[in-house]
Amino acid sequence: MQGRFMPRRDGEKHVGLAYALITLQDSCTDPSEKLKLRRLLSGSTAVINGKKYRSRGLVYKHRGERVGRGVYIVPKDEVEELSSELKERNLEKCIKIIDICECTCI
């Protein structure tokens, strides 16, 4: 998963990258809460008087990507910070974190 999923920094080598999938849970039955969570994770764009205002989502802030509807992939070392930010907003109950590993360390 090199390339757009994990940008390389200068001089940084990625050996045995570990990722986590973040999925939206069905436990959030309130539609406004689901929308709030999606906008928080993915970001949003608004056009006001011809000007575009774009907010980057938490997933992109933590070097992640959107994989599908309600599914995101984030580097494993960033998951703890992401979940703590969601916990501050009382939205951690609405997501499920699944650890996956692409390394050959088995």
pLDDT of residue 16: 54
pLDDT of residue 1: 45
Q: CA separation (Å) from 97 to 6, 8, 46, 80, 104? A: 18, 24, 29, 10, 21
CA distance 23 to 40: 14
Sorted by where each begins, the domain ranges of the chain are: 18-101
67 contacts: CB under 8 Å, gap ≥ 6: 21, 73
Please report, in tens digits, the pLDDT of each residue of the chain (106 residues total).
444 445 445 455 444 568 889 998 877 778 888 888 888 999 999 999 999 999 899 999 998 999 888 899 998 888 889 989 989 988 888 888 888 766 655 5
pLDDT of residue 101: 66
- Token readout for 2 is 């090199």
